[in-house]
Amino acid sequence: MADLVDIRSDTVTRPTPGMRAAMAEAAVGDDVYGEDPTVNALEARVASLLGHEAALFTPTGSMANQLAVQVLVPPGEELLCDADAHVVTYEIGAAAAIGGISTRTWPASGPDLDPDLVAGMIRPAGVHAVQTRAIAVEQTHNRWGGGVLPLSTLERLRAVADQAGVLMHCDGARIWHAHVAAGVPLSTYGALFDTVSVCLSKGLGAPVGSLVVSTAERIERARFLRKRMGGGMRQVGILAAAGDYALTHHIQRLADDHARARRLAEALAPFGVADPARVHSNMVVLDLSSSTVDAMELAAAAQEQGVLVSPLGARLVRLVTHLDVDDDAIDRAVEVLKGILSAGA
């Protein structure tokens, strides 16, 4: 369908002409030998942006997360995170299956968290219980509609971690959105965490790739673990060039995606399914609890009219704006979704 509007996720973007040109012209080498100049430059750039010593390019965000938690948490010890965190919800048990890591969660209650609650969950070393070694948070939070964790909350959580002697990981797949939405420097976020993972293939529009940043020592360990997990790649500078282009050209434009997400929410708010105040970045979650249309019905009806959305269970639907969704596409999505919700009212 020529006018297909795909707002299921920001992972569906296609490389722009400028990005394709950068990929075609990339200088490459064997990255397993550490000889790909484009990868090396990208790793140094991302490490610098987050204020860390080193970074490692990975094929996926899940691998970046798993490398990070494995360098922080020894097998048989514990990672704390919220119950809806990507690292325990969408990575199919990798922390336990691959890293031998025990996880425990606090109840998910939105994009914010209670540092005092987390403090009460931390278990010290001893022979009677699993020792807590790290805390993971997600910025922005996927399951909670792209919500941005406040800087003050993160600072309080860092103080809790320091007092307890535990480490902190940030699943920053969409930290670029938090940076633009909240105006917080990337280095400020980076300074709060011992490891950070970032994704290039979501809001930034690269076709593939993530990185994990940390100290040089931890990244050297992560490089070993990446090879063990099958993530050692060869002339991957072709992909790294896309990420480098995205960092140069696609960060500040995320504000356009945020504005378009708010437009979606404002247009659908009269139906009681969206709250514009909850739109922090590029995601809108529709709550169909008061509608006669359920998530699967809405998704099927929208698809018939050329609009793709993501059902999240029976009554929730996620809409995600991104590089390939312009103002005309938003207008089309609004028209289609309004028609479906009106018919089901």
Write the pLDDT tens digit of every residue in 157-194: 999 999 999 999 999 999 999 999 999 999 999 999 99
Same-domain check for residues 148 and 266: no
Residue linked to tokens 């979606």: 264
Residue 170 forms part of a structural domain: yes
Instruction: Please give the tally of structural domains in the chain.
Output: 2
Same domain assignment for residues 136 and 282: no
User: Would the pLDDT of 2 be above 60?
Assistant: no
Q: What's the pLDDT score for residue 344?
A: 64
Whether residue 318 sits in one domain with residue 176: no
Asked which of 231, 249, 267 is the last residue of a domain, the reply is 249
* Residue 236 shares a structural domain with residue 267: no
> Looking at residue 110, what is its pLDDT?
76
**Dihedral (C-alpha) 62, 65, 70, 75: value to the nearest 10 degrees?**
-60
Residues 29 and 177 in one domain: yes
b/e sequence 212-243, b meaning 16+ C-beta within 10 Å: bbbeeebbeebbebbeebebbbebbbbbbbbb
In a domain, 5, yes or no: no
103, 219: one domain: yes
C-alpha closest to that of 133 among 123, 141, 143: 123
What would the pLDDT profile of 64-74 be if each residue is shown by its tens digit? 999 999 999 99
**Closest Cα partner for 247 from 18, 71, 53, 1?**
18
Quick check: 345 pLDDT over 60? no
2 within a domain of the structure (yes/no) = no
Phi, psi at 134, each rounded to 5°: -155, 160
Chain-wide mean pLDDT for the chain? 95
Question: Which of 249, 273, 294 represents a domain boundary (last residue)?
Answer: 249
Instruction: Band the pLDDT of 144: cuts 50, 70, 90.
Output: confident
Tell me, yes or no, whether 91 and 205 share the same domain: yes
In a domain, 332, yes or no: yes
| Average confidence (pLDDT) over 65-87 | 96
With respect to residue 74, please indicate whether it lies within any of the assigned structural domains: yes
Shared-domain flag, residues 294 and 194 = no
Peptide bond into 89 cis (omega under 30): no
**Cα–Cα distance for residue pair 39/232, rounded to 1 Å:** 12
Same domain, 241 and 258: no
Percentage of the chain exceeding pLDDT 90:
91
CATH number at residue 279: 3.90.1150.10
Co-location of 192 and 71 in the same domain: yes
Query: What is the CA angle 188-148-326, rounded to 5?
Result: 110
Helix, strand or coil, per DSSP, at residue 173: coil
The residues, any chain, with a CB within 8 Å of residue 185's CB and separated by 6 or more, are 179
Assess whether 264 and 245 both reside in one domain. no
| Least confident span in 18-22, 195-199, 205-209, 340-344 | 340-344
Whether the CB-CB separation of 95 and 67 falls below 8 Å is answered with no
Per-residue pLDDT tens digits for 211-248: 999 999 999 999 999 999 999 999 999 999 999 999 99
CA angle 254, 335, 278 (to 5 degrees): 45
pTM of the model: 0.94
> Is the pLDDT confidence value at 113 over 60?
yes
Split at pLDDT 50, 70, 90, the class of 343 is confident
From 249, 275, 294, the end of a domain falls on 249
Q: Is residue 113 part of a domain?
A: yes
CATH number where 62 lies:
3.40.640.10
Q: In the chain, what are the helix, strand and coil shares in percent, each to the nearest 5?
A: 45, 15, 40
If we measure between CA atoms, which residue out of 286, 275, 276, 338 comes closest to residue 310? 286
Count the residues in the chain.
345
Q: Is residue 1 part of a domain?
A: no
Whether 321 contacts 257, CB under 8 Å: yes
The amino acid occupying position 285 is: V
Confidence of residue 1 (pLDDT cuts 50, 70, 90): very low
Residue 68 lies inside a defined structural domain of this protein: yes
The C-alpha atoms of residue 207 and residue 166 are separated, in whole angstroms, by: 35
Shared domain check, 269 and 154: no
Domain region containing 175? 17-249
DSSP reduced 3-state for 223: helix
